[in-house]
Amino acid sequence: RNAKVLVDNTFASPALQQPLALGADIVLHSTTKYIGGHSDVVGGALLTNDESLDEAFAFLQNGAGAVPGPFDAYLTIRGLKTLPLRMQKHSENGTAIAEFLDGHPAVGAVLYPGLPTHPNHDVADRQMSGFGGMVSVRLRGGPQAARDFCARTDIFI
């Protein structure tokens, strides 16, 4: 009854999917992730097509002081300039990694909407212009296999 549909579109970004055009009432983005794109800004965005919701969110935002500073806004705008190209590359790389892992003997399942075997592949294909770079796997051998994998992984920064 009068429930609103909110979509967290952080990992698709507006470059790959526009939930408002698909009927969502509210769209949430963590601009810290793909939109910012350089790991140097913290922020978020709420979008609606409803003026009364916009006014309610603006009131809360003003009351809480949740407004980005000028430099944070600049960094976010800078990230937006290259977002479509970066998301295209993330999608290409995500697909390549998912396809590689899908055939690996240590992998029990690959969870990636770009694979035809994903249960929601058809939906994602209809409403997205790319599948992004987020790939999840389930390793054969369960939790212990995952812990062993993490223990053997070298992380570089």
Residue 47 maps to a domain: yes
CATH number at residue 91: 3.90.1150
**pTM, rounded to two decimals:** 0.88
Q: What angle do CA 141, 142, 143 make, to 5 degrees?
A: 125
Looking at residue 2, its pLDDT comes to 87
pLDDT in 10s for each residue of the chain, 157 residues: 889 999 999 999 999 999 999 999 999 999 999 999 999 999 999 999 999 999 999 999 999 988 899 999 999 999 999 999 999 999 999 999 999 999 999 999 999 999 999 999 999 999 999 999 999 999 999 999 999 999 999 987 6
Neighbours of 116 (CB within 10 A): 7
- Residue 84's domain comprises 6-152
Looking at residue 155, its pLDDT comes to 82
Residue 37 maps to a domain: yes
155 CB-contact burial (10 Å; exposed 0-12 / middle 13-18 / buried 19+): exposed
Round to whole Å and give the CA distance between 47 and 57. 9
Domain count, the chain: 1
Residue 26 maps to a domain: yes
CB of 72 within 8 A of CB of 42? yes
Residue 18 maps to a domain: yes
Give the CA dihedral 18, 88, 150, 104, nearest 10 degrees.
110
CB of 53 within 8 A of CB of 2? no
